[in-house]
Amino acid sequence: MTEPNPAAAPLLTDHPCEGVVRLRLHRPEARNALNTALREALADAFDKLDRDDRVRCVLLCGSDRVFAAGADMKEIASLGAAGVSRLGVLRTWKAIAGFSKPLIAVVGGPALGGGCELALHADIILAGRSAMFGQPEVTVGIMPGGGATQRLMRAVGKYQAMRLMLTGLAVSADEAFAMGMVSEVVDDAALDARALELARLIASRPSMALRLLKEAALAGADAPLSTGLLLERRAFELLFDTADQKEGMQAFADRRPAVFNGR
């Protein structure tokens, strides 16, 4: 059931199945370009979803033909450095980067500039065959400012990331998959169904295990190996105090499906 949204709302929300929330970028007149209103709507949505214990997985989608075409040039083209700083973009990105639950970006059509950076915040990127990924900022006299110089480098390595950022050229879904940027590529007609299938599966898993797994993986990625391994082990140990761990292992012994309740 779709929640009420004004027709002009830049972000639409619905609940396609239990434990799953779908956020859909909704600026069709601007190819889902990221302006302040859309960024604020995303930040507010992720803040609320993080606090909602009923939510176990989030799908972040664009429209049928475009994920997000980048930053809204009409909003920023005439600004100076101080004006750009006052937009508060780092705060809105932080709300997504700090989201503690599984996040799947569902990308059909172009995901360029800020749109590509938005997808890079996800834990899984599911792409339709029409998807295109790129960082074209250099072609308009600027550089990535939403995390690509860091997240893209970590995702695909220096040489592929620098090729994309220095040339401004885009790559196809299949090329992005080959370089390790995309988790899976499916036909466009199957994109929404496959996304929901993945989200439903993840939402059926124990929520505390999902949260601690993501926390350890992301925190450990920026730490020495020894620190990352310690974070992993401590999180692993904590899960033995959860009801879901007892249920999961008992279900395994009983050869039946586990029923997790998030405790």
Looking at residue 246, the DSSP 8-state letter turns out to be H
Task: Kindly state whether residues 62 and 140 are assigned to the same domain.
Answer: yes
Residue 32 burial by Cβ neighbours in a 10 Å radius (0-12, 13-18, 19+): buried
- pLDDT of 89: 86
The candidate with the shortest Cα–Cα distance to 59, out of 87, 17, 98, is 17
Task: Kindly state whether residues 153 and 240 are assigned to the same domain.
Answer: no
For every residue of 46-91, which 3-state class applies, written as one string?
A: HHHHHHCCCCCEEEEECCCCCCECCECHHHHCCCCHHHHHHCCHHH
| Residue 13, number of CB atoms within 10 A of its CB | 19
CA dist 95 and 116 (Å) reads 17
- Tell me the residue range of the domain where 36 lies: 11-203
- Give the count of domains, the chain: 2
Over the chain (263 residues), the average pLDDT of each successive run of 10 is 60 95 96 95 97 96 94 89 88 93 98 97 98 97 94 96 98 98 98 97 96 95 94 96 96 95 89
- pLDDT of 88: 83
Can you give the CATH number for the domain in which 39 is found? 3.90.226.10
- pLDDT of 2: 47
Residue with tokens 């065959």: 129
- pLDDT of 42: 97
The answer to whether the beta carbons of residues 196 and 17 sit under 8 Å apart is yes
- pLDDT of 188: 97
- Alpha-carbon distances, residue 24 vs 13, 97, 260 (angstroms): 6, 18, 28
Task: Kindly state whether residues 145 and 224 are assigned to the same domain.
Answer: no
Task: Kindly state whether residues 27 and 64 are assigned to the same domain.
Answer: yes
Can you give the CATH number for the domain in which 237 is found? 1.10.12
Catalytic residue among 71, 95, 122, 127: 71
Q: Is 18 noted as a catalytic residue in this protein? A: no
Task: Kindly state whether residues 113 and 242 are assigned to the same domain.
Answer: no
Catalytic residue among 19, 41, 68, 137: 137
3 occurs within a structural domain? no
Q: Is 258 noted as a catalytic residue in this protein? A: no
Catalytic residue among 114, 115, 128, 248: 114
135 occurs within a structural domain? yes
Task: Kindly state whether residues 134 and 237 are assigned to the same domain.
Answer: no
- pLDDT of 230: 96
4 occurs within a structural domain? no
Task: Kindly state whether residues 238 and 181 are assigned to the same domain.
Answer: no
173 occurs within a structural domain? yes
Task: Kindly state whether residues 90 and 62 are assigned to the same domain.
Answer: yes
77 occurs within a structural domain? yes
Catalytic residue among 108, 117, 128, 216: 117
Q: Residue 229 is encoded by which pair of tokens?
A: 């391994």
Q: Is 189 noted as a catalytic residue in this protein? A: no
Task: Kindly state whether residues 249 and 185 are assigned to the same domain.
Answer: no
Task: Kindly state whether residues 149 and 245 are assigned to the same domain.
Answer: no
Task: Kindly state whether residues 27 and 151 are assigned to the same domain.
Answer: yes
Number of H helices, E strands in the chain: 12, 9
- Alpha-carbon distances, residue 202 vs 66, 162, 186, 214, 247 (angstroms): 25, 33, 18, 12, 17
- pLDDT of 4: 46
For residue 145, give the 3-state DSSP assignment: coil
Task: Kindly state whether residues 40 and 97 are assigned to the same domain.
Answer: yes
Q: Is 137 noted as a catalytic residue in this protein? A: yes
